[in-house]
Amino acid sequence: AKFYRVSGGSTQHKGVVPDIAMPSMIDTTTIGEDTYASSLPWTTVSPSFFKPTGEVSPALIAELQKKSAVHSAGNPLYQSYLRDLGLLDQIRRKKTVSLQESSFKSESESIKQIEKQWVREPDQKKDSSKDVILNEATSIVSDLAIVSSAQHQSIRP
């Protein structure tokens, strides 16, 4: 079955495209609908007539993106997360595997350490103060509330 949004775009392959993308441990080249041979292609139909509500302006999105960049650049834990993601991405992109046992073990250990540091099992109690993505998302929502409130206050007579 194929599903479409009121805007006319299908839900296949693209999903919800975020205004502010967060880095993820998930390897989208191996996980996701578009990795299946049987997945349906993204298509469009005529959009429905609808009036969007609560739409965020492109200018506000740009401001939130800038604020997010400032938050994340000043957060050592977030920067550590990005470094680990970079290392993980480097390992994933390799086309060869070392036949030297020490190199292979070292690489495998690096992957395990990164996963241990950042990935939690669903039944594991989570320390939300160390969840860099949750904390950054919270900062973005907070910024949205502050900026929206300031804009709303400036509009009132």
Q: Would 99 be classed as within a structural domain?
A: yes
- With a pLDDT cut of 70, the percent of the chain lying above it is 92
For residue range 63-98, what is the model confidence (pLDDT) as tens digits? 999 999 999 999 999 999 999 999 988 888 888 888
Q: What is the DSSP letter of 40?
A: P
How many whole angstroms from its chain centre is CA 138?
13
From the CB of residue 49, how many other CB atoms can be counted at a distance below 10 Å?
Answer: 6
- Residue 94 belongs to a domain: yes
Please tell me the total count of domains within the chain: 1
Q: pTM here?
A: 0.74
Q: Is residue 150 scored above 80 in pLDDT?
A: no
Residues of the chain with pLDDT > 90: what percent? 34
Q: For residue 49, tell me if it sits in a domain.
A: no
**Residue 7 falls inside a structural domain:** no
Q: What CA–CA distance (Å, rounded) separates 114 from 80?
A: 10
The rounded distance, in Å, linking the Cα atoms of 5 and 45 is: 9
Domain membership flag for residue 73: yes
Tell whether 25 is covered by a domain.
no
pLDDT of residue 37: 85
pLDDT at 126: 67
Please tell me which of 25-29, 40-44, 95-99 the model is most confident about, judged by mean pLDDT. 40-44
CA dist list (Å): 63 to 53, 119, 134, 137, 141: 20, 30, 19, 15, 12
- Per the structure, the complete domain to which residue 116 belongs is given by 54-155
Is 90 part of any domain? Answer: yes
The token pair that represents 29 in the structure block: 């080249």
- Smallest Cα–Cα separation from 27: which of 94, 80, 113? 94
